[in-house]
Structures are given as C-alpha cells and as structure tokens.
Amino acid sequence: MQIDGSGALVAGGASGLGEATSRALHAAGARVVIADLNEDKGHALADELGEGAAFVRADVTEPDTVQAAVDAVDGLRISVCCAGIGWAERTAHKRGPHQLQPFETVIRVNLIGTFNVLRLSAAAMSASEPVASGERGVCINTASIAAFDGQIGQISYSASKGGIVGMTLPAARDLASQGIRVCTIAPGTFDTPLLGNLPDPVRDALGAAIPFPSRLGRPEEYAALALHIVENEMLNGEVIRLDGALRMPPK
C-alpha cells in the first residue's frame, strides 16, 4: 500500500507510539486523523503537523466516537491502533483476590477497544475501490511482549494483549477476500510517557536488560515498522516482536 496520498487513522495517536506513528505517516504523505481522548495533545499535534492532519476526540471503547474518527478520514487505507492502558495487581494477594473491575477495564480498553477500531476501519476500507494490486487497506494493532512473557502483576495487561495477538490471524483471514491486511506489532520496553515518569536509574536498568541494543526502544522505531508493514504487501496475519531480543523475567 502506498502511503503518499492515502488516508490514515491513528487511534491513541496523540502521544507515545501513536504520536510517532502519526508524525511518520504525515511525513510520508498520508492524510492523518489523530484519534485520542487527550484533546489538548491531539489538537496541538494536529496544529503542529498542519495541512493533512486533523484531530478527532475518540474513546476506542465507544462505537460512535470511533465511527466519527473513521468517517473523518479522507480515503481510509491505513488504520493503526496504539490506544491502551495498564494495571498492576497479582491474581491473589494478602489483601484478597485481584479486583474484577480493573481487569474488566483493561480488557475493555486494550482488547475490545482495539477490535472496535479494527472492525470499523475494515468496514470503511471494504467499501472503497481497491488499488491496482487489489488491496483496499492495512490495519495494524499493538500488542506487547507481555502477551508472551507476562510478568508478575501483569495478568490483566497480558490477557488483553494476548487477545490482540490471538485475533490477528483470524482477522487477516476474514478480511483477505476484501484485500485488507492485518498485522500486529508487539513492542518490548519503549521510551513512552508511561516510562517517562520513572526515575532515571530505573529507566537505565530497564534499558540495560535488553540484549541489543541495550536501551529503551524509541517510538520512532515502532513507527518505522508500522510504515514498513503498510508498504510490504506480503506482511499479513503476522505478529512481530519489536524488543531487541528481550525475554521478560518473572519480575
């Protein structure tokens, strides 16, 4: 899929991995709609990027707001979902069992929210005319290496990301006849706003645990892989770890 001239939606596109992807797609010539809950950051990024960029407030768990974001894209060909949240709690502990509501919330935002963006984006793409190769669009989801190497306290997060991994191949098979590809990126430890709140010694230790390169991943590296997936027509139904060969220990 050619990026230049294509319409793109980036859910969770106002910060972190999503912001880097919004910037990279725009720089490559895509018309980008940034969908996010953070209106201040979303409007600021769209204003900075200028022509070819717009912001739509959207909650990935709400069909109406995601549909509005999808509808705002001029000629949707590319959909990237980076929206997500985390929660740390053990399955059972001295205070009792894992709280049910936080588990449900993480599943709702990370897994159901990703599916919501995927289904609505794919429906819009399927109604469009294909390009010369027969392709109509590309959907990229964001999992995590926690889907494979979940640590102590990550049960809700790992379950949500494992669900995203699990739906990648069936989604790709579902949409193959319509010329829509589906891939998932599973990042390792990346330098995002979430980690930005940690003390430098903790951040340095996280980076040192990565075999090579021994540093935190950069959001721009996630964005570069997302753009490659868009442009490489043979990438479909695949989950790609982006982690510097990191395999997370139990804690």
Q: List the catalytic residues.
A: 157
Give the C-alpha separation, 102 to 179, whole Å.
Answer: 37
The DSSP call for residue 217 is B
Q: Please, is 94 exposed, middle or buried when counting C-beta atoms within 10 Å of its C-beta (0-12, 13-18, 19+)? A: exposed
Cα-based distances in Å from 143 to 47, 56, 168, 212: 29, 23, 10, 21
The pair of three-digit structure tokens given for residue 222, joined into one six-digit string: 């996630």
Give the C-alpha separation, 143 to 160, whole Å.
Answer: 8
